[in-house]
Amino acid sequence: MTTTGTRTAHLSADAAPHETEIVSRWPTAGRTVARARRELVDALTAWGLPELRDAAELVLSELVTNAVRHARSPRGRLIETRVRRLPDGRVRIEVHDANTDLPVPRASSDTDEGGRGLQLVDALTAHQWGVSGRTGVGKAVWAIVAGPGDGQRPGG
């Protein structure tokens, strides 16, 4: 299922569980984070993977928030999310944007109010995240989320 612009089709709990990838395009707007989270939760429910919800929702939120905040250039470009169910019960989350600046995890300090998002992603994915190129300009930031107690397996 592919959606474009600000219109997004959401999966319902009885949506096609055989679909293994959801691709959507979003504006660089604050409401995008909540809308992308809702779509993710619908997909996890349809796929029978509710145990991934908390970690996947946080990872997606951090990656989309970074894209909304930091990837506003070049102007007029959309953010793309890809959520793919992997055969072993894990989920790969990708956030594509047209900005070529790479995300850099910042060391947090007691006075630093921001910059902890990638540290959270790193912890929730057991270091299974990274940045890759994409067709066209920009980058894709990806992360693999496993269920509690599953442990992370290589394969990003």
- For the chain, the structural domain boundaries read 21-145
pTM listed for this prediction: 0.81
Q: Is 21-145 a CATH 3.20.20.80 domain?
A: no
pLDDT at res. 102: 87
**67-86 burial code (b ≥16 CB/10 A, e <16):** bbeebeeeeebbbbbbbbbe
pLDDT at res. 101: 87
d(CA 41, CA 36): 9
* Closest of 50, 120, 55 to residue 93, by C-alpha: 55
Beta strands, E only, the chain: 21-26, 79-85, 91-97, 129-132, 139-145
Each residue's pLDDT tens digit, 69-114: 887 766 778 999 999 999 999 999 999 999 888 888 777 665 556 6
How many CA within 13 A on the CB side of residue 140? Answer: 16
What does the DSSP 8-state code read for residue 117?
H
Cβ atoms of 23 and 88 closer than 8 Å: no
